[in-house]
Amino acid sequence: MANEVILLDFWPSMFGMRTRIALREKGVEFEYREEDLRNKSPLLLQMNPIHKKIPVLIHNGKPVCESSIQVQYIDEVWSHKNPILPSDPYQRAQARFWADFIDKKVYDVSRKTWTTKGEELEAAKKELIEILKTLESELGDKPYFGGDEFGYVDIALIGFYTWFPAYEKFGNLSIESECPKLMVWVKKCLERETVAKSLPDPHKVTEFVAELRKRFGLE
């Protein structure tokens, strides 16, 4: 079967970054289509009528929505190389647990570092650092979250790194000094071509966030 793979995405999306990395890990050729989120394409609305969100992976005309589900789908369809989830059921459950932790905890609170002020901002900063320290503790002295091999949890988290300078600038915090081991892991992930090619320049993300703050009347 011919594989036609289209990714509807938006460049600063940490969720889209997951799917880009997973596709590149598997060596899958794909057509990247940038969406304008203020004027979503008819294809996006047709392919993800429930959430109307990017990323949407379209494989031979059929949509797969939600980045974590896309990454698992990619791992199952292109199972011939670079396994993303471990093969052992218990290790798979652990990987799913930490990816789910990232989904439930990191996005909402990190967003508050650049959308809130005063007490709400202080609470968000404290919580974000606690969450990142929990992740750092789970990483421990392993090179990657799953051990020696780059995998599912690494893919779930690494895109957030491109937003760290924005969290630091607008939230006035230092992730590097609070979580030095996590930053060692970031550098190791960035050495992978599949990651480096899939992540935007963090300075561009910071400029994008500054624009959003203006648009939201926060500056």
Using rule CB under 8 A, residue 72 touches a copy of itself: yes
Contact pick of 9, 25, 35, 66 for a copy of itself (by CB under 8 A): 66
Contact pick of 23, 47, 64, 158 for a copy of itself (by CB under 8 A): 64
Using rule CB under 8 A, residue 56 touches a copy of itself: no
Cis ω before 180 (30° cut-off from 0)? no
The residue range among 60-68, 106-114, 145-153, 174-182 that interacts with a copy of itself, by the rule CB under 8 A, is 60-68
Contact pick of 32, 101, 144, 208 for a copy of itself (by CB under 8 A): 101
In the DSSP assignment, the letter for residue 199 is: S
Helix residue ranges, H only, the chain: 14-25, 42-47, 67-77, 89-115, 118-139, 152-158, 164-171, 175-178, 180-190, 193-196, 202-215
Look at residues 133, 200, 124, 201 and name the one whose alpha carbon lies nearest to residue 167: 124
Using rule CB under 8 A, residue 80 touches a copy of itself: no
CA distance 65 to 162: 22
141 C-beta neighbours (distance < 10 Å), count: 6
Nearer to a copy of itself, 77 or 184 (CB): 77
Contact pick of 73, 143, 165, 213 for a copy of itself (by CB under 8 A): 73
Interface residues with a copy of itself (CB under 8 A)?
A: 50, 59, 62, 64-66, 68-70, 72-73, 76-77, 89-90, 92-93, 96-97, 100-101, 134
